[in-house]
Amino acid sequence: MAQPSPYTPGAVAREVPGRNRQLAAIEERLDLLATIGRLVPRIRVDHGPRGVGKTSLLRQVEQRAKAKDADTIWVTAGESSGLVPAIADGAERLVRRWPAKMKERVTEALSHLELKVTGGVPGVASIEAGWSAAGGRRRARGATREFEDLIVATTQASLDRKHSGLVILIDEVQAADPASLRTISYAWQHFQSERRDLPVALFAAGLPESVGVINAAVSNSERFAYRQLKDLTPDAAAVALANPARQLGVGWSADALDAAVRYAAGYPHTVQLIGENAWQHAGFPDSGATIKREHVEAAAADVEEDLRELFTARLSKVTRQVELDFVLAMARLGDGPVRRSTIAAEMGKPTDALGVPRSRLIGAGIITDSSHGYLEFTVPGFAAFVRDVHDLELVEED
Ligand SMILES: Nc1ncnc2c1ncn2[C@@H]1O[C@H](COP(=O)(O)OP(=O)(O)OP(=O)(O)O)[C@@H](O)[C@H]1O
Ligand SMILES: [Mg+2]
């Protein structure tokens, strides 16, 4: 009886090894809400490059919130209607089946918010449209109170049902509209001074540019707590490979595991790909079987092909010459993080001329800020791919 692969390439991870530090901090915040019944005063934002595990982490937060009897609203930012209307939709769906008596105030708050946002014009569900029509900012503050009322009413209804409170989860927060981000941060600022006993929390995840997007939209960015989500350590990658197999009674030989961990280089997406392909090459093993080094080696060839497809698709997004030059210069400089000034020198340009291509490449998910003044390709192996395709030599270090 062949067993299907327990790995999850391209899907939410069931378990998130290597994220204990994040989860411990989140767990503590959730306890504040569920056990002590308090507001979680800061909005935590976990940010990192494509495929690093942001959605999987946020789904863990959702599960843990539910395990603590909280009600949850999950929203993916970037819908045309805006983030606040999307949260309102989520609240409406959440309370839909609750007894009328409990959801009365929520329904009322929803209609007030909708009126404010659309100005009573049916079909204009965009919060930005409602505001710009009324002259921007002043109106935005107006909608903040309606949004607050909705959150208060929903949280209260949750408590009435003997649940512990409300947890809102926002994925892809870099795509949120600025007006909604402002509304949310004002609301949290008011809660912080007026409603500290309101058991509500908001957690977000997004690409690295989330930080810039939020800071540009709000004036009180200290309401947000930014945390960078990084690649997995070798130990975490080993656990991510070994655990799902062990649960099916399948082992990994030590050298197979070493080879797979080395190959994945800490990138969660590659961890899942190599795991899945090794599982296939081991013949969808039954309980009692072992994944061996030769399975990993055969798998690596397949993953290579998958990754080349991914890389080709990404590289095809780089259409402007200056961006391509940027990528080529980075690839010539090696596989790890590269200093911004070194890239500029390699391109024969002043460092401050690179701001635009840099942010466009970050937006396209090709590169990411690794630490101050350093840039890095988002997926391990991309530099070698670019050198290969464009027939480039590594620049000798001096
Ligand atoms: N801690 C982890 N250990 C092992 N694999 C993981 C871990 N977290 C996520 N993954 C796997 O990595 C891949 C990417 O995960 P996920 O979709 O959560 O990332 P993401 O950062 O949200 O990506 P994107 O930016 O494309 O939305 C998935 O295949 C997932 O199963
Ligand atoms: Mg995601």
Closest among 39, 49, 54, 51 to 10, alpha carbons compared: 51
The whole-number average pLDDT for the span 199-214 is: 93
Ligand 1 centroid to residue 92 C-alpha, Å? 29
With 70 as the cut, is the pLDDT of residue 122 above it?
no
pLDDT for residue 176 is more than 50:
yes
Look at 337 and 67; give whichever has higher pLDDT: 67
Instruction: Tell me, in angstroms, the distance from the centre of ligand 1 to residue 229's CA.
Output: 11
Going by CA atoms, what residue is nearest to atom 13 of ligand 1?
269
CB 359 within 8 A of CB 365: no
Q: Can you give the pLDDT at residue 397?
A: 62
Sign of the torsion angle spanned by Cα atoms 330, 333, 337, 339: negative
Lowest mean pLDDT among 53-62, 84-93, 305-314, 320-329: 305-314
> What whole-number distance in Å separates Cα of residue 73 and Cα of residue 279?
36
From 298, 375, 286, 294, select the one nearest 330 (Cα to Cα).
Answer: 375
Q: Over pLDDT 70: what percentage of the chain?
A: 93
Whole-Å CA distances, 148 to 84, 144, 220, 237, 365: 11, 6, 17, 42, 34
- The ligand that comes nearest to the alpha carbon of residue 59 is 1
The residue to which tokens 């595990």 are assigned: 53
What pLDDT does residue 398 have? Answer: 56
The reply to whether ligand 1 has any atom less than 6 angstroms from the CB of 266 is no
Residue from 20, 47, 55 to probe ligand 1 pocket by mutation (most atoms less than 8 Å from CB): 55
pLDDT for position 124: 41
113 phi-psi bin (left φ>0, alpha ψ -120 to 50, beta other): alpha
Query: Which ligand 1 atom sits closest to the C-alpha of 49?
Result: 25
Q: How confident is the model at residue 35 (pLDDT cuts 50, 70, 90)?
A: very high
Domains and CATH numbers, the chain: 20-228 (3.40.50.300), 234-315 (1.10.8), 321-389 (1.10.10.10)
Report the separation in Å between the CA atom of 133 and the middle of ligand 2, taken as the mean of its atom positions: 33
Q: Does the C-beta of 9 come closer than 6 Å to ligand 1?
A: yes
For residues 100-119, give the mean pLDDT: 85
Average pLDDT, the chain: 90
- The answer on pLDDT for 338 being more than 80 is yes
Instruction: Evaluate if residue 118 carries a pLDDT over 50.
Output: yes
Mean pLDDT, rounded, for 258-277? 94
Phi, psi of 339 (to 5 degrees): -70, 140
Higher pLDDT pick, 238 / 114: 238
Query: How far, in Å, from the CA of 262 to the mean position of ligand 1?
Result: 18
Q: What is the Å distance from ligand 1's center to 187 Cα?
A: 31
Structure tokens at 150: 């909705």
Residue whose CA lies nearest to ligand 1 atom number 25: 50
pLDDT (average), residues 12-34: 96
Most confident listed range (209-223, 320-334, 354-368): 320-334
